[in-house]
Structure 1
């Protein structure tokens, strides 16, 4: 975007203040003298999906069971994009919208090192810092950032006071890319030997077109990620406009925001900030586009949506590419001689294998004639492609990482005859208004664990029901053998201790209302969406994307097989089973914190030297923007080698082993979300 500016360039970011000249100048920013086109290949929320994930799509003739993506297949697709861009004589950027961490047993075993290894083999140009990159500690994050061969971007943080990240030169607010025919250069603030303005001028004088990519992370990160250390987070809108202004003042007129804030906030950001040409997003796992031709969901917001900026004259183009390395997006941008965005189009492509089956168990392969019909169908579709895995990356994963993975999976718990789906929000991906099938099962399993006589004897609390947040469940369950490690390393990988929290009914009502309403906007972060075990509710959306009413909220005072539903009483105290992260009030469950900030009767459950032990909580305290418990006596130290905190996963494994017949038996839905 072209602007003529007379301004005093003012230092606003301590991370790159040394790279800016503090001066007052009158400067007219000159854009390129020719039209400039740029392709952006993008991925996000890959979550350690190094292996393909089971999938399904429909053709006019049949349903097809396949596998989507995986990093070796994704690497092949990105290489195709590079070759095509080279043949077309167009520059290409490969961007990652954040959240490479978590998601599979590979991450639990390698704690970010495998992510750094694999991503560094994929020729990525830059990555946004995601919330799950904070899931371990800042020392591990610092190691990851040091290992990758591309910059990690976040313009709305200050890590200078953090013991681990304070001197990390590969964590930057932005990076510059300079293009000239087949040449591509990149330079971060840490690599500049002169001021930002001088660096831009030097590149332009050499005939290069300069594009800036800056990063944004969630500004409420401490309430979402438990281990942000001494990193400060700043307002999204203010930081974005400040960064854009600084880049424009230095002569940059083509600016991309690489964000990990979710599609809804991307749209809001574009409506509040001038000067961003495109936003490449992540966090909400939004597969933008129309996939109805494959029998799959169509996103409410389109791919490459153009949102009006507050100045009323310019727009910002917004994209995002789904989740779990299943798809890749390709965005085409063009700018005129004045630096104004003239083209914004493209799409996401789902990446399929070529081995297709008739059944969910994948035992009946398609006949050759059926196979050819599916091939012919796919060849005519713009949003699905059959892609072979990159053989070198496949071999590297199999040789270096897969043996330890297979060993870590452990014993088989049960054989599932069909998949058990997990969706964060009812209605997503064309699901019904009851949503996840797995989340209520997990909630009930955790309730059943806490309701065992020996556990009640330890806690002194008889549980009434359980609550889980959809985001704490990282995947559904596939048909076939279910191993212990699939639960503890992939489905529930956060190793959170279970808590039993005595709370009044009105607090439960408030939490459910607030968390459901927060997920109503299209593209909103739906990880906080609540599901219950021995608790059910009906929520009716009364104003689309804004508000609704909790019209039914009931507690099961019977059993799972013979329920006795009674209305929740606002003034009755209930003992709620929930993981410690949500029990503290994080991720928008703030009412739990408010109810315990003066005094708590909560008990946390963890294993100490192999024995289940209760850890009474005194109260919940606010700390570094998040919430954590203060214990009455012995503090629970999950990093102690004799302590095992993953009672959230242990409860589910034990339940599935004890009651295999209940895992796939039909039960009453516990969540109903009715939308206009």
Structure 2
């Protein structure tokens, strides 16, 4: 955002008031982050400045803390109201989460001094006992108005999990209150949370938690707050940009939606060589035709922070909503992603880059908070570094992971992941257990968590970062017709500007061409698979052995066609190691429980990935073995297998 904008927006005077609801206009500034995914350390980044590529690092929690404290100081100096919110998905993403299972997240998030956080889908990646410990370890509330945990033994007593929270403001000073009556003449802001209504289909371990409809629950909560006399309502959500817009257009009374889930960096970053996102702080008209709702989101991985100033009329309507996302950059720049001494820019070149950054409205140089940096380095980082294990190969050039192909450029990483799983499934060791030969593999873009940077590739880079979910690999029979249906379903649902792009399918031993006919819609022009070294058209009536992760083999994350194919009967097998021995777990069928969560019914012994002797992460093991055996110098495959013709 414009570097003078925060000061200008915070300069609105907060006048006195004559009742429990302020009679004078009120301005609230919201600082916000989302989808931080355990990126406590900064991320490597490529920027284009003055038509030249430069490399630096962005974000990380010590940098977030510095910037948040700057905003707090500015709010205090101008006596303005400020809240700092998180749009959910703090879990997963780096080796820190694999090692500390949410405990480090609770520690670091609390140090940021947040005022509230939405519950993301990845917060359900472990069991609810871990989630309860995480929630109870935070010093700020976790918000979810459409969640019922009353039947869940782990979460039913989590007092820090609440539908909404109320804050009363006296200038820049805020106080958490239980009712509007406590506020007296001070303006009150309610922050309510919303989680995915289809959480049970997306998250692997929801326990006995139930999820209600987003729009219906939101309107009911708003009505309850209005009846209490609350004029100003903020929704912190983990729904994705498309559903946030639907919420704004279907619900009366929400003033601002601070979102997450779709990793949307709103604003125009094309001058930095990044994409031009949708506009920041767009306002949508409520169904009553009277009120408006402002929608914001701040990208991913703790790289940026959003700031929006919302000015209200005397009767509590939104009069203005302005702000932007700001990338938080280091002050050291390089001409190569390796970022070594030889690649560092000269002092004169560094100064030119700094001057160019100072001219940009949506990036700023921010030092790391020294205390937090030292704390991470002393308390957590040593274990992370030792956990990375042996070198398995080398990456000579950056392999960028792009979820949905952009400008003809598909992911360089997802096809390698798919190739590793097909290779592994057809090794003699695995075939001796399965008795099958796999025809091709399919991988969802969202299951691949990052790009691969130049340098040594260690086991931990794969199991802790690239493929951190410890998924078993599955083999399942699908007809050509079912494969085509799956591709159409996942491509169409992943391509919209505000869609969940993690559903997008990549493959190995399979290639397809898709032609877009309207925005986010199209048809398959070709589907082929590699048979005995020759590409052949998929036969709609033929049956194929398809390699998938167990998560997507169950139809999770919107891969519904796979679920539908296995409701009555399946020949699927899941593969995991038990006491270091590869074991096949045959599946009989799939079903859904009362909450809509998909359940796997095994023929004999069930696969329990929580057992200490069981290693379910065959997806990561497959990639490690593939690199060691076939591609120790890891470069991109000659083709991605995806031909995508966009309008």
TM-score, reference length from structure 2: 0.95
**In 2: Cα distance, 1:665 partner to 1:316 partner:** 44
Q: What residue in structure 1 maps to residue 332 of structure 2?
A: 355
2:215 & 2:405 partners in 1: Cα distance? 30
Per the alignment, residue 301 of structure 2 pairs with 324
SS of the counterpart of 1:274?
Answer: coil
Question: Do the aligned residues in 2 keep the contact of 1:555 with 1:568 (CA within 8 Å)?
Answer: yes
Equivalence map 1:227-376=2 (5 Å)? 227-299=205-277, 301-363=278-340, 364-376=343-355
Counterpart secondary structure, 2:565: helix
Q: 1:510 to 1:434 in 2, by over 3 A?
A: farther
Measure how far apart 1:255 and its partner are. 0.6
SS at match of 2:495: coil
CA distance in 1, matches of 2:226, 2:463: 48
Alignment correspondent of 2:558: 588
Residue 38 (1) aligns with residue 28 (2): yes
Q: In the alignment, what sits opposite 1:517? A: 492
Shift of 1:61: 4.6
Cα offset for 1:103? 0.3
Q: Distance in 2 between matches of 1:666 and 1:110?
A: 34
Name the counterpart of 1:13.
none
Q: Does 1:550 align with 2:528?
A: no
Alpha-carbon distance, 1:521 to partner: 2.4
Give the Cα–Cα distance (whole angstroms) in 2 for the partners of residues 630 and 315 of structure 1: 47
User: In 2, are the aligned partners of 1:434 and 1:669 still within 8 Å (CA)?
Assistant: no
Are 1:419 and 2:390 counterparts? no
Q: CA deviation at 1:434?
A: 4.2
Instruction: Give deviations 1:452-507, integer Å, cap 9, x for gaps.
Output: 12311210111000011111111111111111011001111111100000111111
| Matching of residue 137 in structure 1 with residue 127 in structure 2 | yes
Partner of 2:387: 408
1:125, distance to aligned residue in structure 2 (A): 0.4
Question: Secondary structure at the residue paired with 1:519?
Answer: helix
Aligned with residue 656 of structure 1, among 627, 636, 645: 627
* Match runs of 1:464-475 below 5 Å: 464-475=439-450
Q: CA deviation at 1:361?
A: 2.0
Shift of 1:374: 0.4
The alpha-carbon deviation at position 92 of structure 1 amounts to 0.6
- SS for the counterpart of 2:27 is strand
Cα distance in 1 between the residues matched to 2:555 and 2:255: 37
1:635 alignment partner in structure 2: 606
Q: Is the 8 A contact 2:511 2:527 kept in 1?
A: yes
Q: Which runs of 5+ in 1 are unaligned?
A: 1-28, 193-198
Q: Distance in 1 between matches of 2:275 and 2:564?
A: 38
Question: How many angstroms apart in 1 are the aligned matches of 2:463 and 2:426?
Answer: 21
Asked if the contact 1:65–1:359 (Cα under 8 Å) also holds between the matched residues in 2, the reply is: yes
Give me the whole-angstrom Cα distance separating, in 2, the residues matched to 1:632 and 1:92.
56
The aligned runs of 1:386-397 (5 Å cut-off) are: 386-397=365-376
Q: Deviations over 1:281-333 (max 9, x none)?
A: 0000000000011111001x210001111111221100000000000000111
Runs of 4+ in 1 over 3 A off after TM superposition: none
Q: For the residues of structure 2 that align with 1:321 and 1:96, how far apart are their CA atoms?
A: 10
Are 1:434 and 1:670, in contact at CA under 8 Å, matched by a contact in 2? no
CA contact (8 A) 1:361 1:417 kept: no
Map of 2:14 onto structure 1: none
Measure how far apart 1:645 and its partner are: 0.8
Q: Secondary structure at the match of 2:68?
A: helix
Structure 2: unaligned runs, 5 residues or longer: 1-18
Q: CA contact under 8 A between 1:216 and 1:240: conserved in structure 2?
A: yes
Q: Which residue of 2 aligns with 1:672?
A: 643
Q: CA deviation at 1:435?
A: 2.3
Q: How does 1:214-225 map to 2 (within 5 A)?
A: 214-225=192-203
Q: 2:114 aligns with which of 102, 120, 124?
A: 124
Among 461, 464, 481, the residue aligned to 1:489: 464
Contact 1:264 1:521 in 2 (8 A): no
SS at match of 1:587: helix
Distance 1:358 1:240 in 2: 49
What's the CA shift string for 1:111-160, capped at 9, x where partnerless? 00000001111110000000000000100000000000000000001101
